[in-house]
Structure 1
Amino acid sequence: MAGKAEEPVNEQAVATIYGNMRADINQVYSKITELEMEVSEHSLVINAIKPLDQSRRCYRMIGGVLVERTIKEVLPAVQHNKEGLEMVIARLNEALEKKKKELADFEAKYKIRIKKGDEVKDDGSKKEGSAQGVLVGPAGAAEQN
């Protein structure tokens, strides 16, 4: 956020700010993924206990302590937690879109282009492939004689 208040003075400062912006986006992505896994787990629990008798005993982990309750008590709490997680994910997705837009604006402002690592590797493999073709050619010709 400090990058908005003052203009970067050199390429290194721009690169640092850009790297920080990308790191922020990656953190939000990983948090969204983590929360989506928790929502999935909540759904599995809900689907598993919903058809069961409401007076049946079940156990719930609360702050590292396993507590005995009934399905009637636990099911609404698990559903409420799942809804809360889904709301947090929605807010994180909004924040992610905002950060991606800021990053795109920053890239446009400073004309940032990313070199793909794959492009460099592809060029190297093409050279290796042509070198291997040259080695295979004479070996194949020697076998035919």
Structure 2
Amino acid sequence: MASTSESDSREPVNEQAVATIYASLKSELNQIHSKITELEMEASEHSLVINAIQPLDPSRRCYRMIGGVLVERTVREVLPAVQRNKEGIEEVITRLNEALEKKKKELANFEAKYKIRIRKPDGAAKDENARKEGSSSQGVLVGPAS
């Protein structure tokens, strides 16, 4: 994410440099996207915990994992902490989504500036045609006769 200013300040010298910067931008975009996905799963888990313990008696015993240690608490103590954690995770997701949009715009501008177009390799087009043909007909594979 810090390389945004680096890529803007220096102009690539040749096609190899353009390709390297482009790959770096794509990599950063993928990293942000995977982190968002990971945090969304974590927020979902927090929601499950909140929904499970919310209807319980506040004085009921509850166990919480803190830094790899299982700690005994009450629902009254754990519920607000889990809710605060979930809110914090959602805030981080919001900021990462903003960063993702900025990175997408940066990538689109880079593609437009250097006229980058992604094309499928020749083998990919042949594989798609083979799949289309193969899906309509069914065949039987027979091994050598013994």
TM-score interval for Structure 1 and Structure 2 normalised by the shorter chain = 0.7 to 0.9
1:122 to 115, 125, 139: 125
Aligned to 1:33: 37
Matched ranges for 1:39-54 at <5 A: 39-54=43-58
Residue 21 (1) aligns with residue 25 (2)? yes
Matched ranges for 1:78-93 at <5 A: 78-93=82-97
Could you tell me the TM-score, scaled by structure 1's length? 0.83
Aligned to 2:103: 99
Assess, with a 3 A threshold, how the Cα gap between structure 1 residues 95 and 125 changes in structure 2: closer, same or farther.
closer
CA distance in 2, matches of 1:3, 1:66: 46
Between Structure 1 and Structure 2, whose CA radius of gyration is higher?
Answer: 1
Identity value in percent: 70
Unpaired stretches in structure 2, ≥5 consecutive residues: 134-146
Could you tell me the TM-score, scaled by structure 2's length? 0.82
- The alpha-carbon deviation at position 5 of structure 1 amounts to 1.1
- The alpha-carbon deviation at position 29 of structure 1 amounts to 0.4
Q: What secondary structure sits across from 1:74 in the alignment?
A: helix
1:59 to 60, 63, 66: 63
- The alpha-carbon deviation at position 124 of structure 1 amounts to 5.2
Give the alignment's Cα RMSD to 1 decimal. 2.0
1:72-118 CA distance string (max 9 Å, x none) = 0000000000000000000000000000000000000000000134x
CA distance in 1, matches of 2:16, 2:31: 22
- The alpha-carbon deviation at position 127 of structure 1 amounts to 7.5
Where is the helix percentage greater, Structure 1 or Structure 2? 1
CA distance in 2, matches of 1:128, 1:48: 46
Q: How many residues align?
A: 129
CA distance in 2, matches of 1:14, 1:37: 35
Assess, with a 3 A threshold, how the Cα gap between structure 1 residues 33 and 8 changes in structure 2: closer, same or farther.
same
- The alpha-carbon deviation at position 122 of structure 1 amounts to 2.7
